[in-house]
Amino acid sequence: MIHTREWQTVRDFIQDRTRIAVTTHVNPDGDAIGSQMAMAHYLRQIGKEVVLLNCDRMPDYFSFLDPEGEIALFEEQAHDALVAGLDGCIVVDISDWARLRGLGSALRRHNIPVACIDHHIPSDKMGEVHVCYQEASSTGEMIYDFLLDSGAELTLPIVDAIYTCVMTDTGSFRFSNTNARTHRIAAELLERGAHYRAIYEKVYENNSKQRTLLMAKLLERMHFACDDRLAYFSLTQELLRQTGAQLWETEGFSELPRTIARVEVSLMFTETEAGNTKVSFRSKGRVAINGMATLFGGGGHKYASGATLAMSLNQAVEAVVEEARKLFTD
């Protein structure tokens, strides 16, 4: 757990500032949005003016966390003056400037002080305050610790936001980052009134027809190697057009092969509009894959990592699969 003295650095950062932005990484997931909203609710409790800016839209099934639609999609020209007027910015669930895109550039251009709270292996130290705890199941778990340590009022919006963080980043308590403390925190959140059933339904039982059709096409195109211990598939721009699905609707697809017997490692390749390739690396927990992600310029957790390669989809598949095969060389 994080010690009080480390959380005090975050409180000191907040205390001296009035207008604070809260943001998170591109392609935001449940932990990102939940952490962002929980922190925003707390800042308002203590009288701060809060600005919510993200570089990518969130999946529709997380919109219940932001019922008023307060999170704005960052546009450089439209929001440059807004960023310039900030006293500070709290960045959650990310330790990499590149994953803040233009917003990160604007923050640095205007010398906006930054505090970072994250549970990923840091690729770079972000800001004046950087609290990182890799053993946490989620950044939401860290936010929960911070709020308890700060004596915050844990309102229902905060409780639901943090429960969403913990539930989604542990794959509904299935992934290897789940431990006894994760379950204790979940139990405490339920005791505080978390709408666990409604949250599960909104996140996992709310697929659009387009998302379902895309999932079916990807499953049809799945490849296996290394005696079925390695599985991989590719998401092309053409498949998105064919099904009418949006890119944000692919959240969670990288986990699909982990449900297959014998598969130990899965790779999801996503062709970007710019012609690059995003790779999601996943493992059931017996084969570490973060080293491979680092090899290709990415990073992340031991069993869940990612990278973006400046190469075509076919080139990326060939290069990454060749490297992945080495994981199973006896």
Q: How many CB atoms lie within 10 A of CB 244?
A: 13
Is 27 in the same domain as 173? yes
* CATH label of the domain that carries residue 298: 3.10.310.30
Mean pLDDT of 268-285: 95
Model confidence at 95: pLDDT above 80: no
> Do 35 and 141 share a domain, yes or no?
yes
Same domain, 195 and 230: no
Q: How confident is the model at residue 191 (pLDDT cuts 50, 70, 90)?
A: very high
For residue 166 the two structure tokens come to 């913990």
**Quick one: 143 and 166 in the same domain?**
yes
| Boundary of a domain, candidates 204, 236, 270 | 204
Specify the pairing of strand 88-92 against strand 223-225: unpaired
* Average pLDDT of the residues of the chain: 94
Asked if 170 and 66 sit in the same domain, the reply is yes
Clarify whether residues 101 and 35 are in a common domain. Answer: yes
Average pLDDT on 72-95 reads 94
Lateral strand order in the sheet of 265-271: 223-225, 230-235, 265-271, 277-283, 304-309, 299-300
The answer to whether the beta carbons of residues 141 and 119 sit under 8 Å apart is yes
* Predicted confidence (pLDDT) at residue 184 exceeds the cutoff of 90: yes
Cβ neighbors of 257 (< 8 A, separation 6 or more) are: 222, 231, 232, 233, 263, 266, 282
CATH of the domain at 140: 3.90.1640.10
Please answer whether residues 39 and 32 qualify as being in contact, where contact means their C-beta atoms are separated by less than 8 angstroms: no
Q: Could you give the number of structural domains in the chain?
A: 2
Please tell me the predicted confidence (pLDDT) of residue 301.
82
pLDDT attached to residue 108: 94
Spatial neighbors of 201 by CB under 8 A, at least 6 apart, are: none
Same domain flag for 123 and 271:
no
Are the CB atoms for 35 and 168 separated by under 8 Å? no
Point out the least confidently predicted range of 98-102, 113-117, 141-145. Answer: 98-102
Q: In terms of domains, do 226 and 91 share one? A: no
Same domain? 213 vs 154: no
Q: pLDDT category, 330, cuts 50, 70, 90?
A: low
What average pLDDT does the segment 194-210 reach? Answer: 95
- Give the residue ranges of DSSP H helices in the chain: 4-15, 30-45, 76-84, 101-109, 139-149, 156-169, 180-191, 196-204, 209-220, 237-243, 290-295, 313-325
| Same domain, residue pair 122 and 245 | no
Q: How far apart are CA 204 and CA 169, in angstroms?
A: 13
> Is pLDDT above 70 for 217?
yes
**SS3 assignment, position 190:** helix
Q: Could you count the other beta carbons within 10 Å of the beta carbon of residue 138?
A: 27
Residue 41 has pLDDT above 80, yes or no: yes
Of 170, 204, 238, the residue that ends a domain is 204
Select, from the ranges 41-45, 92-96, 298-302, 326-330, the one with the highest average predicted confidence (pLDDT): 41-45
- Whether 196 and 219 map to the same domain: the answer is no
* Residues 316 and 193 grouped into a single domain: no
Burial pattern 94-116, b for ≥16 Cβ within 10 A else e, equals bbbbebbbebbebbeeeebbbbb
- This model's pTM is above 0.85: yes
Output the pLDDT for position 16.
86
Answer with the one of 204, 227, 257 that is the final residue of a domain.
204
Q: Sorting pLDDT into bands at 50, 70 and 90, what band is 51?
A: very high
Q: Which domain holds residue 81?
A: 4-204
